Every structure is written in structure tokens, then in C-alpha cells.
Structure 1
């Protein structure tokens, strides 16, 4: 699977130049594409422009209009490649440099309102293990007759503790009950919900999942 370029990563890359050259295996998230259009960022893979106003890499015999001056692009490509590698290195490094065994007592856990939920939606969330102690995060979510559209730029496993948990992803609808386990792969656009009330235990990788949210 190619490396995902999130909106946060793209924003950092665009600080160097409004024309961003990606490695061939890179994959833009939907939010990154929207950001590129919003900020007028031109994104290329080699000679092919994948986001921008110009058309590059057309079929033989058709006139090509390069996104930038070819000499300028040639001079910048090596610097941009190094910048991309540096940023990806930061993104892909372990979330926790010194993981340690940790015991969290259930009686101390308090689920807080999730501030990123849409107005009027009763969604709660709390991390009990985070990047301060491990590379894998875990915690609890609650949904009270509510739903939460979300983009996951990380892997997640959910275990239903109580109630009915509904997950819509990639054209599929999963209706999970207490005792069921659901896996959601990185790069998924989902809708979490419950028609009643449910409580879910989740695990995410990497632990600093919030750093990859836009």
C-alpha cells in the first residue's frame, strides 16, 4: 500500500513550495486533495499532474502544458524529494519512544463529550492508553442515538461492550452487538452510529491517531 499524504502533511510540504512533487507510491487522502484545491497547491507525480489547473502527461501527439517551468522543476525536484522524505520520516516514526506496561483501573475512567462530533450528536470518547505510554492507543466511545461521520487515517479495532453499534464503510453496513469485534482499515471514510445507546472499546494504530485527523 502506498504512503498516505494527509492534509496536515501536505500543509507542511506546501510551506516550501506551492508545487509539490510526490513519490510514485504516495496516496493523497480526500481531505488533502480538498486542501490542495483550496490553497492552490499543484501536486505532481513525476511528469503527471494529479491536482492542479494544468494538464500534464497527455497522450502522444497532444500538446502538453507543464504546470511549472521544466528547468525550475528540475532544480526543485531534488530538494522537494528530500523534504518529502523528511516529513514522511517524521510521520512514520514510532508514536512512543519508550513504551511501558500500564494498568488502567476501570473505576478511574470517565468518558468525556467528543468535541469533534457534529452539533446535537451525543458522542463520548476517552483514551485510556495513548502515545505517552505505547504505540497502540485504546479507549472507550459512546453513542446515544447519535452518529459520527469520520475519516480514519489509522487502523482501528472496535469491541462492542453494550448496545447496538452501527458502522457504515465502503458501501457496507455492519450492525454489531455486545461481544462483536469490528476492524476498520486505514484510509476508510466511515459513519459510526447507534440507534439506541452503545459503548465501544477501541484500539488504534498508531497511538497518536489524533495527529492524523484534519
Structure 2
């Protein structure tokens, strides 16, 4: 398993000189790579045993896959809690992803239960966390609009009709064949002045279980 070396961890490693030896299975984060160039460092990729010796000399703890360094003097209880949180955050939405073939003509788009009163909006998930780590499905807007806060990343492919997206002061008008990407945390308004059908992909699939993380 590869581990990431953060810029902070790398800085601690090189306090004694311009050379640093790291485990051959470790990877420098982009910030750590910039630090190498900034300080003119020489990075030597050694065997795991050499890396363990380096950690003993410098007091640098192993870096978890998330790139978060845990201080060697931190209480054991705190270390365990941090590792538990990281495992929970990095846990995949689906433990056993599988290939899924969804036949479009068999998908029945249902009324969207969370739609504002009077708004004709349909939505059906075709791929969920039961099958994969991302979610995919179809939604329709019939002269309707939907204010929404995204707790996930989303990509929309417009199948037919006119699709409008408002993000703050920005307004995007898309037509059939267009793709729109929306980053997590965006406050948006989906709408269509006529009728539109959209294929969407969201990540992670289990965003609802994660709340606003």
C-alpha cells in the first residue's frame, strides 16, 4: 500500500540536511514536490527498513493514505480516533461494485418527492450505492425549477430540451448534447423553460448518508 508524504512531514524530515530518504512505496503530495524544488532537496527512495530508521531519527510518524500526519507524541486514544474517522471518510460507498447494464427504455421516471409544490419534476436513480461508488439516473423538468444545495459532485448530460442552471450570478443555458459539471457545495437552481430530460452522475453515491460532509 502506498502512503503519501505531505509537505509538513517532508519539512520535518529535512531539518538536518538537504537529503531525505523515504520508503520506495511512499508518494510525495504536490505540495511536497513543490517543497523539494523550493529547498533544492535530494530525495532518495530506499527500502522500507531505511525509511523506518529515518522515522526513528526524525520523529516523523507514518502518514496515513489521506496525507494527514499524526504527531508521534499524540495520545494513543486520539490516534485511534483520527484513524477511525479517516477510515470512515475514505470508506467506499459500495464495498462490492459490479457491472450494471441499465436499459433506457425500461427506466420509468417517477415524480420527484422533494420537488417544490406545483413543480413538475421527475427523477429516478438507475445506479445506486448498492451497485457502485457513484450514482446515475435520469431527471426531467417540465416548465419547472428546483433550488438545490449539492452535497456531492455532479455531472449532467442533456438528452433533450432546454436546461438552465443558475449558480449565484452565473446562468448556464444548455441544450441536447451539452454537459454541465457542478462541484460539491454549490447552491444552484435547476430549471427548464419548456421540457428537458437530463442524465446525471453524482459522486459519492452515498452522499445522503454522509450528510453535509
Report TM bin, short chain: 0.5 to 0.7
Name structure 1 gaps, 5 residues minimum: 1-76
Q: Which residue of 143, 154, 157 maps to 1:156?
A: 154
The answer for the alignment partner of 1:178 in structure 2 is: 176
Alignment of 1:34-183 (within 5 A): 86-87=84-85, 89-183=87-181
The verdict on how the C-alpha distance between 1:80 and 1:164 changes in structure 2, with shifts beyond 3 A counting, is farther
Post-superposition offset of 1:158: 0.1
Name structure 2 gaps, 5 residues minimum: 1-74
Structure with higher Rg: it is: 2
The answer for the alignment partner of 2:10 in structure 1 is: none
The answer for the alignment partner of 1:200 in structure 2 is: 198
Post-superposition offset of 1:134: 0.6
Q: How many aligned residue pairs are there? A: 138
The verdict on how the C-alpha distance between 1:134 and 1:80 changes in structure 2, with shifts beyond 3 A counting, is same
Q: State the 4+ residue runs in structure 1 displaced beyond 3 angstroms.
A: 77-89
Distance in 2 between the 1:192 and 1:160 partners? 12
The answer for the alignment partner of 2:26 in structure 1 is: none
**SS in structure 1 of the partner of residue 208 of structure 2:** helix
The verdict on how the C-alpha distance between 1:132 and 1:195 changes in structure 2, with shifts beyond 3 A counting, is same
Post-superposition offset of 1:155: 0.5
Q: CA RMSD in A?
A: 2.2
Q: Calculate the TM-score normalised by the size of structure 1.
A: 0.58
Q: Calculate the TM-score normalised by the size of structure 2.
A: 0.59
